[in-house]
Chain A
Amino acid sequence: MIASLAVFAAVALLTPLLTRWLGRRVFPIVALVPAAVFVLLLTLLPGVLAGEPVVEVVPWIPQLDIALSFRLDALALLLALIVTGIGALVLLYCTQYFDDDEPALGRFAALLLAFAGVMLGLVTADDVFLLFTFWEATSVLSYLLIGHYTGRKESRGAALQALTVTTFGGLTMLVGLVVLVVAGGTTSLAELIADPVGGTAGAVGVALVLVGAISKSALVPFHFWLPAAMAAPTPVSAYLHAAAMVKAGVYLVARLAPGYADLSVWHPLIVVIGAGTMLVGGWRALRQTDLKLLLAYGTVSQLGFLVLVTGFGTRDAALAGVALLLAHALFKATLFLVVGIVDHAAGTRDVRHLSAVGRRMPVVATIAFLAAASMAGVPPLIGFVAKEAVFTALLEAAIAGDAWAWTALVGAFLGSVLTVAYTARFLWGAFFTKPGAGPTTLHRTGPLIGVAPGVLAIASLVFALAVPLVEPLLAGYADELPGPTEYHLALWHGLEPALALSAAVFALGAVLVWARRPVARLQAAMPHAIDSGRGYLAIVGALDRMAAGLTTFIQARGVAGYVAVIATVFVAGLGVAALRNSTWPESLRLWDLPGQPIIAALIMVAAIAAAIVRQRMTAVLLAGATGYGLVLLFGTSGAPDLALTQALVETITVVVFVLVVRRLPRQVTMRAQAVRAPFRIAIGVLSGTVMAVIGFVALGARVQPTIAEGLPALAVEAHGKNIVNVMLVDIRAWDTLGEISVLVAVATGVASLIFISGRTGGAPRLDAPTSRRERLRPLPEQADTMRGARASLTDTEHETDAAGTAAATRQTWLLAGRTLSPRNRSILVEVLVRLLFHPAIVVSVYLLFVGHNAPGGGFAGGLVAGLALVARYLAGGRYELGEAAPIDAGRLLGTGLLVAAGTATLPLLFGRTVFESSWLETDVPVLGTISIGTSTLFDLGVYLVVVGLVLDILRSLGAEIDRQREDSDRHGLPDAIAPADDALHPDTPHDERRAVEASRAASADEEARR
């Protein structure tokens, strides 16, 4: 079983590729898969008939007792043979049905083959959750196959309808299965039926499962999806919507009947819905003008019939039911395939346009007559045998005094009358010559297309003649049900009541055909009794309108609106919960230290001011002030590491913020706010209040002592004195590893957002330009020319020249200082930066190494180094950044992450656990005893990642934004629409570009002079 399914999956995956080479000739090849499985199943037949089902079990989710368990008994084998046999024939039929230029042919072939495999899994699965998985997979595949013509509206709509309805049923079924499994204590279908779940749980569970079966088999009130699904290519209709998928519901009913047919919910559901569907389907089939829709409604009718009989619950009815199942699969697939041929040849399947087709396609017409006769129950065909058995079984049960049997019998009888009538309509509509209509023009079709329907039609005849050979397999299932086992399937039982019923069916059917005009008039005059299709549209339409309304309502305010909604829910939800709280802190201090209120006041004023002021820069600085306030708070109350880190981060944040904001307008416009100011303030105040209350609640809620009490001992064990750092690099190293991964992702994100044409390489450097770097920057000389031009707008030409000469010749403190405009330079800053840079790097390394025992560590060290780079950039511009850190930021980030992850995994090589630390202790002059451990190495990784992050930020938000700005200035374009010229013309020779730029500068000069 499992091996067969694996072959199905593997070949289905390869099919699109094969189709590319073979075109439609791929179908006979993939048809070999179901054909081979068909033969394999036949070899298993003797064992199964002897009462020994084939069982395969592979554990899947043992915790939930869910296994990949398959069980091939008589019923499963019958369905499996139908699925693989008809599957192979339909795939073969596709070879002729499609042309090589059919769009998405590979996808279609793969999906159809995959469907055959999934269907095989469905009928052989023993674990109910495995069954459910296959069940849903058929829904999805059916969706994709119905929607094959993706460009057609009706195709998409029908696919979605089928998916929605069957998935709704499937989910209902899942609930039912869970109820049964929990009550029955097993996930095995066979065990659930051998030892049925009783009581309310059984009734509810089974009823819910039946809803799934009813929706899958397109029974009233879910029947509307099946006619809609006729938008699919005809092979799909023949296979999924006649032979295989819609039988899944019937299969489930047949499967459950031996265990649950005597439940009180069973008969009302099965008999009423079955008989109702049979009548509704037959009635509507009678007035269709589209042959495919006629067959679709006929299928709905027959599915109702099948469920009615297989679910009836006696041995004879079950035998009749599975016989009918086999008969229906054979004749309905045939008829669909025939309609496909007629449609192919005539270009229409409208009975009003088809005339005299039968005369010119005699073979096809004969095949269709055989199958249609089987559908109507004409001897000597399998359909007749099955219908006789049905009448006998129901009649005997009715005579025995079963009230439901009478209902079922009447329903089956009337339904059969309708079946005879619509069968006649089908044959007449497809093949007969209509009065007053000329013969339909037919295209030639190859004779091979008739093979598949021909084989199926002949099977309808052969199985009827050789019914004693088929019966053991059918009886193998039916004998599981209670009742005498004397009845046998046969063409001739003698003059029996059932035969009389059949005769009456034909007679009444003939009357309907004869009186078709009055009947049609009556049909047109009658309102649709059960038109759940419209009901579905109403529900879906209402849902759509609600979704659209909600979307308009919520999205109308954008991000601000979302924040407002989130904050309001937060205030309402947590606010109410916090007010009902009963654990408040035992005691309340006003402050911890005398200085605290002053710092607090500063922070609060800065925060409120930041929320009010309209100048961007001021607001940024005020937000920074709150951060520095926190530095003071942390520093004064026992958190030196936090104070250090916060101070460094706050500085870098403010600088970076300013670097970006300098390009934006100075003031923030307040017009047309999505959320008006009073609401904003109210929501803000309420959120703050609720947050403060939650702070109190959280403080009062703690009942256990803090786990911090054990930490000092752990820190000593890890050779460290600074507990915070030991936690970061040792105790909670996993957490830190995750965090630096986030930093790497963020740095990459920043760079990708700013760099348009690739981010590799360091910041631009002064000399030794490689071709890659040239792309990222103009030549220094160019920069000078440009700067001269810009300066001349304000200065006199002479002064500019003088300054330029001075700049070019003056010995500089910073390497790239001369690339800056003289007006932007400060000798004091340059000297300071020059003097402080290297000490700062030394300090950062010092912090890295002492971090284990004193305030510091990888984060603080990396930030100090980053800050040193910030200083170099601010004093010397973007070339200076390249000179200070002539290395690709991406390499730093990658190396850092590699070092950290290496420290994590290295111990594994020595048979230890991840992140297990080891140390090397030595005495070093000046520094004292130093203990170098793997955790220090890990901290080095953190250090490198942080430096890389700051470098990437500077390179992107500093240097690259500078470059883009210079580009747009130089081109005289408005800021925002200036393209990055290097990205646009990467191949322009440098000489040419310089010439262009020189002329531009000259014209700018001229303009300035005027």
Chain B
Amino acid sequence: MSASLTLVLVMGVLFGAGIATMMERSLTRVLIGFLLVGNGVNLLIYLMSGTPGLAPILGEGVDGSEISDPLPQAFILTAIVINLGITAFLLALLYRSWWLAQLGERGDLVDDAAEHVEDAEETADLIRSSAADDQAVQEIIVASDEEFESGDEELDPSAGAGGREESAKREHDASARRPGRRRP
């Protein structure tokens, strides 16, 4: 099949400009990027019809072999309308986030780098905190091992009780150190 160099170029430019715009902090800009990429993708599908011909409408004297390929057109037609729906949805999201987050003059900017780092650190903390559960198990297992150092009275209850309290204390300290935001 042959292709129109011009259209391929346009498609590439729409795509590139869209992707570059999507990487910004402002949600409006992300949405504009989405629109550009959407148009680019529609054009890509359209390219697949090859050489354009007559409109695919079988009027008087229209030969079936002279028309454009209708298949990509059917695809694009649904894609266009879906694009409208998704755009409206994203706009609603954008407005809602602005309204709820009370961003005011800050507009529709999503979090900046520092805030993202903070969020990510919080997530990482949560992941790490599962180690605390394992640690608690290990402490109990170790606490039950009878320690026997030379000079100790055999099975001295007070020594054992001390050990237990100590481990309980460690646990308490550990939970006290953890920031309160994890489990309200």
Contact = CB atoms under 8 A, between A and B. Distances in A.
B176 interface: no
Interface in A384-434: 434
A69 interface: no
B131 to A, nearest CB: 6
Contact of B148 (A521, A593, A645): A521
A702 B19 contact: no
Contacts of B1: 585-586, 699-700, 702
A141 interface: no
Interface string A982-997: 0000000000000000
Contact of B74 (A350, A557, A709, A728): A728
A346 interface: no
A722 B96 contact: no
B20 A521 contact: no
Contact of A724 (B42, B74, B114, B132): B74
Interface string A584-618: 01111111110011001001100110110000100
B21 A153 contact: no
Interface in B111-162: 111-114, 116-117, 119-121, 123-125, 127-128, 130-141, 143-150, 154-157, 160-161
Interface centre among B74, B124, B131 (most CB of A within 10 A): B74
Contacts of A728: 74, 77-78
Contacts of B123: 548, 551-552, 555
B58 A351 contact: no
A723 B56 contact: yes
B144 A289 contact: yes
Given A231-B140, A560-B25, A749 B58 contact: no
A696 B6 CA distance: 12
Given A545-B128, A608-B17, A669-B26, A352 B150 contact: no
B184 interface: no
Nearest to B64: A712
A192 to B, nearest CB: 38
Contacts of A653: 35, 83-84, 87
A743 B11 contact: no
Given A352-B160, A688-B15, A724-B74, A639 B68 contact: yes
B111 A558 contact: yes
Contact of B69 (A350, A547, A597, A708): A708
A130 interface: no
A915 to B, nearest CB: 15
Given A154-B136, A589-B5, A957-B88, A674 B81 contact: no
A670 B22 CA distance: 13
B148 to A, nearest CB: 4
Interface in B45-66: 46-48, 50-59, 64-65
Contact of B16 (A152, A553, A660, A688): A688
A692 interface: yes
B23 A683 contact: yes
Nearest to A722: B57
A586 B2 CA distance: 6
Nearest to B8: A695
B100 to A, nearest CB: 9
A553 B124 CA distance: 10
Contacts of A736: 78
Interface string A540-554: 110011011101111
A649 B80 contact: yes
Contacts of B134: 157, 160-161, 537, 540-541
Contacts of A170: none
Contact of B36 (A231, A290, A607, A673): A607
Main secondary structure on A side of the interface with B:
helix
A597 B88 contact: no
Interface string A630-657: 1001100111111001100100110011
B25 A712 contact: no
B6 A742 contact: no
A230 to B, nearest CB: 8
B124 A551 contact: yes
Contacts of A747: 85, 88
Contact of A520 (B5, B13, B148, B160): B148
A728 B71 CA distance: 10
B13 A607 contact: yes
Interface string A863-898: 100000000000000000000000000000000000
Given A649-B81, A673-B24, A687 B10 contact: no
Given A517-B154, A610-B36, A645 B81 contact: yes
A685 B5 CA distance: 17
A160 B130 contact: yes
A80 B64 CA distance: 73
A685 B32 contact: no
Interface stretch (A762-770, A906-914, A972-980): A972-980
A675 B23 CA distance: 7
Interface stretch (A26-34, A310-318, A815-823, A852-860): A852-860
Nearest to B71: A708
B116 A153 contact: no
A619 interface: yes
A649 B9 CA distance: 24
A563 to B, nearest CB: 5
Contact of A664 (B16, B19, B28, B55): B28
Contacts of B80: 642, 645-646, 649
Interface centre among B29, B106, B134, B154 (most CB of A within 10 A): B134
B85 A556 contact: no
A363 interface: no
A901 interface: no
A689 B107 CA distance: 33
Contacts of B8: 692, 695-696
Interface centre among B44, B91, B125 (most CB of A within 10 A): B91
A661 B85 contact: no
Given A596-B4, A668-B26, A672-B25, A689 B16 contact: yes
Nearest to B16: A688
Given A540-B134, A724-B77, A854-B57, A608 B6 contact: no
A545 B124 CA distance: 8
Contact of A638 (B48, B67, B121): B67
Given A352-B157, A688-B17, A638 B110 contact: no
Contact of A706 (B18, B31, B69): B69
A976 B99 contact: yes
Contacts of A567: 19, 23
A727 B155 contact: no
B136 A157 contact: yes
Contacts of B98: 663-664, 976
B113 A160 contact: no
B113 A154 contact: no
Interface string A664-706: 1100111111110001110111111101100110111010001
A642 B73 contact: yes
B147 to A, nearest CB: 6
B85 to A, nearest CB: 4
A490 interface: no
Contacts of A957: 88, 91-92, 95
A564 interface: yes
Given A680-B24, A695-B47, A753-B93, 8 more contacts: A547-B124, A551-B124, A592-B4, A639-B68, A645-B81, A685-B16, A699-B47, A749-B89
13 contacts: A289-B160, A353-B157, A353-B161, A534-B138, A544-B128, A560-B24, A596-B7, A674-B113, A684-B17, A685-B16, A723-B58, A949-B88, A976-B102
Interface of B: 1-26, 28-33, 35-36, 39-40, 42-44, 46-48, 50-59, 64-65, 67-71, 73-74, 76-78, 80-89, 91-96, 98-99, 101-114, 116-117, 119-121, 123-125, 127-128, 130-141, 143-150, 154-157, 160-161, 164, 171
The 9 A-B residue pairs whose C-beta atoms are closest, nearest first, are: A688-B16, A684-B20, A157-B133, A692-B12, A548-B124, A637-B52, A638-B68, A712-B64, A746-B85
